[in-house]
Amino acid sequence: MGLSKKRIEEIEDILKSALRRKFQNYNPEPAYMPFHTRLLGKDRMALFSFIHSLNTNFGTSIFEPVALVLAKKKFIMAECQQIAGKQISEKAQSVIQRIMDNLTAAHAKPDKEKETEMIRKVAQQGVMHTVKPTKVDIMLKDEAGEIFLIDIKTAKPNKGGFREFKRTLLEWVGVILANNPKAKVNTMIAIPYNPYEPKPYSRWTMAGMLDLDSELMVAEEFWDFLGGEGAYQDLLQCFERVGIALTREIDRYFAKFKHK
């Protein structure tokens, strides 16, 4: 199906603006690395530092706004950095802790549908506690009212972090159902690209915590979910075209570091 010309233009504008804004605001952190600098040159070291800095906010400055553009056609609501809810029931918290304990001890395998129904049964039972869950990177709602809460992670998340990722997904379910116990809610982790390409993404590190079929989307799965079949390949071409179009600007920016 692929992306429309309008969406391609929107995405390419986002990429150009993000890169130019980074050039305007970026100040390399002072780091005396005499061996590296003499071996590689100041301009290459500046490029290395720039890429590292860009990576730290790639999600919020590029991936999130691009995701919203892609989702416009398929979803009636698409927003970023949203609060899923502010209250969760005491009994839902207890169920979430029990789920986490069982997964950690390997007494149970992750089963998103079962876990969601366990939380749904107690979502409005007991004392309601005010909480401040992790903000939702991408919040979507389709025409049927189904809700999707997505947490975008780096391409190689720390293995030990998946326990907290799982808790976040469960807590999002808890606060959504506290407000509407009949809601159809999906909570997922998204990995924007596969660093192991062309080999499959190494999912085994998450298998004990995440329901891989329901709670994880990697690369093409994620972008095609948002924008339809072919969105991922079209997106890669957008990045390539913008890189080519801005080649001279990029070269000029880093050339100035040769003389510093």
Strand segments (E) across 42-97: 77-82, 87-89
Residues 142 and 186 in one domain: yes
- What is the per-residue pLDDT across 139-178, written as a single tens digit (0 to 9) for each? 999 999 999 999 999 777 776 688 899 999 999 999 999 9
**Domains in the chain, number:** 2
> Are residue 203 and residue 99 in the same domain, yes or no?
yes
Tell me the C-alpha distance between 100 and 121, whole Å: 17
CB 2 within 8 A of CB 234: yes
The verdict on 89 and 61 lying in the same domain is no
> Which region, left, alpha or beta, applies to residue 148 given φ > 0 means left and ψ of -120 to 50 means alpha?
beta
Q: Is 178 found in the same domain as 86? A: yes
Shared-domain flag, residues 38 and 110: no
Asked whether the beta carbons of 32 and 255 are under 8 A apart, the reply is no
Is the confidence at residue 114, as pLDDT, over 80?
yes
Q: What is the pLDDT of residue 138?
A: 97
Helix (H) / strand (E) containing 190: strand 185-191
Average pLDDT over every residue of 13-22:
93
Position 48 pLDDT exceeds 90:
no
pLDDT band at 50 (very low <50, low <70, confident <90, very high): confident
Report pLDDT digits (tens) over 196-255.
Answer: 888 888 776 677 899 999 999 999 999 999 999 999 999 999 999 999 999 999 888 878
Given a cut of 70, whether residue 179 has pLDDT beyond it is yes
Which residues form the domain of 50?
1-71+231-260
Predicted TM-score of the model (pTM): 0.90
pLDDT at 42 over 90: no
d(CA 65, CA 134): 19
**Joined tokens for residue 62:** 């590029």
* Of 128, 210, 119, 136, residue with least CA distance to 173: 119
Whether residue 88 is found in the same domain as residue 48: no
Q: Are 32 and 107 contained in the same domain?
A: no
215 lies in the same domain as 253: no
31 token code pair? 């780091």
Q: Do residues 143 and 198 both lie within one domain? A: yes
Stretch 111-126: mean pLDDT: 97
Residue 121: predicted pLDDT: 98
- Looking at the structure, tell me whether residues 220 and 131 fall in a common domain: yes
- Pairwise CA distance, residues 185 & 183, whole Å: 6
For residue 31, name the pLDDT band (cuts at 50, 70, 90). low
Question: Do 79 and 110 belong to one domain?
Answer: yes
Which residue, 185, 161, 159, is CA-closest to 171?
A: 185
